[in-house]
């Protein structure tokens, strides 16, 4: 198996599509398909299951990707060393998250602080419910996660079994984001009942549609809608939120009610009335890992940012 084939397999696993992976890799679809077939022949096992919905990993495929992902990362670092000059930054930090807009503010702050010395900061988003897999495999230094209270115990057990440490930061109340085209955007009330969202499309990532957290909607009492937008990026989420009357399940500590502006996007958070489910933001690291100075700095900025925007700190 070649270095390129390792990259190809990881990209297909990440996108779930040969077409999209080929576009991302700037190679032909036939070349990529041939590479997959070659690797599967070499190992004598199927790595991907093929269907009309795309490419999904087989049980062997999940183990295969878990093994080769840290290898691919180490190869990239090795080749980077080959091309390093005296002016090239040696410090790196890789962060994966469920996708939070305030992480961009942290990245900008770190960019200013490290502008002279240099830093390679990688920010990735994962919406499949397996965000911590990158920490387990060594592909990310830390993960920033949201945990709904109704799944907290089972997630903590999963972290423990994977030798991961979970560090909670802040607790938040549940509600929804709505855009200007949703009538509730101009409501005089700051909180709503879940049934008031009946008839409005739901905008969500795949983990809430058919993944491990798909039952959170009935847990909250939200109506099941025929119209759903399934997205895999924060940008797509808020673009659709701005253009439709849909809503996004979210959470925050409401101390300063009002509307939020983020560049071209604008939305409003409405709190669920008397909701028993809450959520919290925290970060995850390997149990016995020693965080770099850059990772510790990122965590400090994350804590400061969450406190600054009004969330409640968890001791």
Q: How far apart are CA 242 and CA 185, in angstroms?
A: 11
Q: Which tens digits make up the pLDDT trace of 144-193?
A: 999 999 999 999 999 999 999 999 998 999 999 999 999 999 999 999 99
Q: Are residues 177 and 82 in the same domain?
A: no
Q: Tell the burial category of 251 from Cβ atoms under 10 Å away from its Cβ (0-12, 13-18, 19+).
A: buried
* Residue 210 placed within a domain: yes
| pLDDT recorded at residue 84 | 55
Domain that holds residue 255: 170-279
* Residue 244 placed within a domain: yes
* Residue 164 placed within a domain: no
| pLDDT recorded at residue 254 | 60
Q: How far apart are CA 306 and CA 315, in angstroms?
A: 14
* Residue 315 placed within a domain: no
Q: How far apart are CA 16 and CA 173, in angstroms?
A: 33
| pLDDT recorded at residue 109 | 93
The domain boundary, picked from 65, 88, 111, lies at 88
Q: How far apart are CA 188 and CA 151, in angstroms?
A: 32
Looking at the structure of the chain, the number of domains it has is 2
CATH number at residue 199: 3.40.190.290
Q: Which tens digits make up the pLDDT trace of 301-315?
A: 999 888 765 444 343
Q: Which parts of the chain register pLDDT below 50?
A: 310-315
* Residue 151 placed within a domain: no
Q: Are residues 178 and 80 in the same domain?
A: no
* Residue 17 placed within a domain: yes
Cβ-proximal residues to 209 (8 Å cutoff; 6+ apart), any chain: 228, 230
């Amino acid at each position: 198996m070649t270095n390129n084939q390792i990259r190809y397999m990881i990209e297909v696993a990440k996108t779930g599509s040969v077409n999209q992976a080929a576009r991302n890799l700037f190679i032909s679809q036939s070349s990529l398909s041939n590479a997959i077939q070659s690797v599967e022949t070499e190992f004598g096992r199927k790595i991907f299951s093929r269907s009309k919905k795309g490419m999904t990993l087989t049980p062997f495929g999940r183990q295969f990707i878990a093994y080769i992902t840290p290898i691919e990362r180490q190869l990239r670092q090795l080749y980077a060393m080959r091309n390093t000059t005296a002016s090239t930054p040696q410090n790196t930090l890789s962060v994966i998250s469920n996708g939070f807009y305030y992480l961009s503010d942290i990245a900008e702050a770190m960019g200013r602080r490290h502008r002279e010395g240099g830093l390679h900061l990688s920010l990735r988003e994962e919406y499949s419910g397996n965000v911590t897999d990158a920490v387990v495999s060594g592909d990310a230094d830390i993960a920033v996660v949201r945990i709904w209270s109704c799944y907290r115990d089972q997630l903590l057990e999963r972290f423990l079994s994977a030798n991961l440490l979970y560090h909670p930061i802040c607790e938040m109340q549940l509600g929804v984001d709505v855009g200007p085209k949703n009538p509730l955007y101009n409501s005089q009330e700051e909180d709503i009942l879940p049934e008031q969202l009946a008839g409005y499309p739901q905008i969500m990532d795949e983990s809430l549609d058919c993944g491990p957290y798909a039952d959170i909607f009935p847990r909250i009492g939200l109506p099941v809608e025929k119209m759903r937008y399934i997205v895999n990026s924060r940008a797509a989420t808020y673009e659709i939120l701005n253009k439709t009357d849909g809503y996004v399940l979210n959470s925050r500590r409401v101390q300063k009610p009002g509307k939020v502006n983020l560049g071209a996007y604008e939305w409003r958070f409405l709190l669920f009335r008397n909701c028993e489910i809450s959520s919290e933001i925290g970060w995850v690291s390997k149990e016995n890992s020693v965080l770099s100075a850059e990772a510790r700095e990122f965590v400090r900025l994350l804590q400061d940012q969450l406190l600054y925007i009004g969330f409640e700190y968890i001791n």
